[in-house]
Amino acid sequence: MARIGLTGLGTMGAALALNMADNGFDVAVHNRSNDKVDAFMESAGDLATRLTPAYELNDLVAALEAPRAVIIMVQAGAAVDSVIDELVPLLDKGDLIIDAGNADFNDTRRRTQALEELGLGFLGMGVSGGEEGARHGPSIMVGGKRESFEAIEDIVSAIAAKYRKDPCADWLGPDGAGHFVKTVHNGIEYADMQLIAEVYGLLRAGGRGMGEMAELFADWNEGPLQSYLIEITAKILASRDAETGEPMVDVIVDSAGQKGTGRWTVIEALKLGQSATTIEAAVAARSWSAGKAMRKDAEKAYPHGKDNTAEILDADLETALFAARIIGYGQGMALLAAASEHFDWSLDLARVAEIWRAGCIIRSSLLDDIASAIRAGIPHGQLILAPAFVERLSAGVPALRRVVAASVHHGLPVPALSSALSYFDTVRRGRGTADLIQAQRDYFGRHGFERIDRPGTGFHGPWAE
Ligand code: 6PG
């Protein structure tokens, strides 16, 4: 009998099944199209002895030890509901369904409630690290009932990436907590990718060759910016297209795809009265990038002069990127704190940072420092107020300011870098400009305001008379 089942042998599902088999677990595997099951079994090599192919869902269920555990790894949305609907009549009370895709956490909350009412367990499990991670060690963010997690904890810990022997996998909270954390992980991923792309854009505008840029990113990867995304950027910039011999990036259309997790992060942030502006800028930039034809016409309508980045120093770019990255992570962490409070999840944010230290796409040397800072306690849940980060940002923001100022001056787009800076400049002022907003609201709508010189609310200005 197999210890666990998996349905959905796409790239991620197949890699996860092989990872489990590689770690000594017997796995039953299923896919809607039988060809994929056969192809997967053929590709499994020696691991095939630990894998049981199933051509129908009831064969998958029949191949499992009780209480059963079935991982679903299909496209987020309606496909997950349809697999759940097919699975439910085949399962018994006490069995467990695990959605390992990038689900909208609102769906996960709904599914958790519906399945728990039927006596079934349900876990929403975020898995990060792409195909390579899923095969050899992803970061795994689990939400649902703790007992449900305990039923598969040994498997999850075994297959996860390890940071100094600590598995990058954990139960984070009830119902949608795991998928919410994965969504925000992806939001931070969007921000980080956009920040890197903007810096690449500035270097390119300065006439730098791909090889030179690749070396610069590789150098930066030895310093405070050390991270998976910087590492792969260096490798990407050094790659050439086999067909044309051109730098690979030069033959790729500059229109970015997005499956939705970045947008969900922004939507949920707004619903919670938060605003993760670095992530918002990254989502916006992807959407703008998709309008290639429009941008070409806009370039004709508003021709720009020759690009000039003469005053931007490489060292400033490195430091600016680091400062903006801290601000982006900080906004993501603040969003997690707000969601945890709103949904009563008691998220351990330090643990979240710890399980992001290896395996996932945003893994970086910074995350160990973030985890330590959160463990030590951060004022107002704001990473940028942690003493270690106050020091880093105080040192880094002047470079961010120089880079943004020069970019704005020369008309070079830096939406994420400038959003990070604007956020920083806003929150570092104890007195802002919302006094005027309050006055305007009171003027046209008698909304009332608070006064600085006495307690109470609902005061009005002289215009009220
Ligand atoms: C990960 C990635 C993974 C995937 C995203 C990309 O953590 O392994 O984030 O989940 O690459 O779905 O999303 P976009 O297609 O929206 O860029």
Can you list the domains of the chain with their CATH numbers? Answer: 4-175 (3.40.50.720), 183-427 (1.10.1040.10), 434-464 (1.20.5.320)
Stated length of the chain: 465
Reference 197, options 85, 317, 96, 97; nearest CA is 317
* Residue 464 in this model has a pLDDT that exceeds 90: no
Amino acid making up residue 13: G
Amino acid making up residue 362: I
Mean pLDDT throughout 360-377? 97
Mean pLDDT throughout 53-80? 97
Which residue minimizes the CA distance to atom 9 of ligand 1?
A: 186
**Three-state secondary structure call for residue 138:** coil
In the 8-state DSSP scheme, what is residue 449? B
Quick one: pLDDT at residue 344?
97
State how beta strands 162-163 and 121-128 pair.
unpaired
Quick one: pLDDT at residue 465?
73
Cα 85 from Cα 62, distance rounded (Å): 17
Quick one: pLDDT at residue 43?
96
- For 81, 94, 190, 364, the CA distances from 277, given in Å and listed in that order, are 32, 43, 12, 21
- For 290, 295, 407, 411, the CA distances from 302, given in Å and listed in that order, are 19, 10, 17, 11
pLDDT tens digits, one per residue of 89-135: 999 999 999 999 999 999 999 999 999 999 999 999 999 999 999 99
Reference 358, options 192, 167, 163; nearest CA is 163
Determine whether the shortest distance from the Cβ of 258 to ligand 1 is under 6 A: yes
Q: Name 165's Cβ contacts closer than 8 Å, sequence gap at least 6.
A: none
pLDDT tens digits, one per residue of 29-39: 999 999 999 99
Mean pLDDT throughout 283-309? 96
* Residue 319 in this model has a pLDDT that exceeds 80: yes
Reference 148, options 15, 4, 287; nearest CA is 4
- For 44, 212, 285, 343, 350, the CA distances from 205, given in Å and listed in that order, are 46, 13, 18, 45, 39
Quick one: pLDDT at residue 64?
98
Which of 182, 268, 280, 354 is catalytic? The answer is 182
The mean predicted confidence, pLDDT, of the chain is 97
Which of 117, 189, 198, 259 is catalytic? The answer is 189
Determine whether the shortest distance from the Cβ of 257 to ligand 1 is under 6 A: yes
Cα 418 from Cα 400, distance rounded (Å): 8
* Residue 377 in this model has a pLDDT that exceeds 90: yes
pLDDT band at 297, cuts 50/70/90? very high
pLDDT tens digits, one per residue of 201-240: 999 999 999 999 999 999 999 999 999 999 999 999 999 9
- Clarify whether 292 is annotated catalytic: no
pLDDT band at 153, cuts 50/70/90? very high
Cα 462 from Cα 465, distance rounded (Å): 6
Quick one: pLDDT at residue 274?
95
Determine whether the shortest distance from the Cβ of 361 to ligand 1 is under 6 A: yes
Q: Which two tokens stand for residue 82?
A: 């349809």
CA dihedral (109, 110, 114, 120) positive or negative: negative
pLDDT tens digits, one per residue of 58-71: 999 999 999 999 99
Contact 327, 278 (CB under 8 A): yes
Cα 103 from Cα 116, distance rounded (Å): 18
Judge residue 244's burial from the number of C-beta atoms within 10 Å of its C-beta, 0-12 exposed, 13-18 middle, 19 or more buried: exposed
CA angle 260, 261, 263 (to 5 degrees): 65
Angle between helical axes of 177-205 and 261-271 (0-180°, round to 10) = 110
pLDDT tens digits, one per residue of 386-421: 999 999 999 999 999 999 999 999 999 999 999 999
- Clarify whether 182 is annotated catalytic: yes
* Residue 318 in this model has a pLDDT that exceeds 80: yes
Contact 153, 14 (CB under 8 A): no
Mean pLDDT throughout 323-327? 98
pLDDT band at 76, cuts 50/70/90? very high
Mean pLDDT throughout 73-82? 97
Mean pLDDT throughout 323-346? 97
User: For the chain, give me the number of helices (H) and strands (E)?
Assistant: 19, 10
Q: Which two tokens stand for residue 211?
A: 């090889």
CA angle 269, 274, 280 (to 5 degrees): 60
Determine whether the shortest distance from the Cβ of 418 to ligand 1 is under 6 A: no
Determine whether the shortest distance from the Cβ of 265 to ligand 1 is under 6 A: no
Mean pLDDT throughout 275-286? 97
Cα 350 from Cα 368, distance rounded (Å): 9
pLDDT band at 431, cuts 50/70/90? very high
For a mutational test of ligand 1's pocket, the pick from 73, 102, 194, i.e. the residue with the most ligand atoms closer than 8 A to its C-beta, is 102
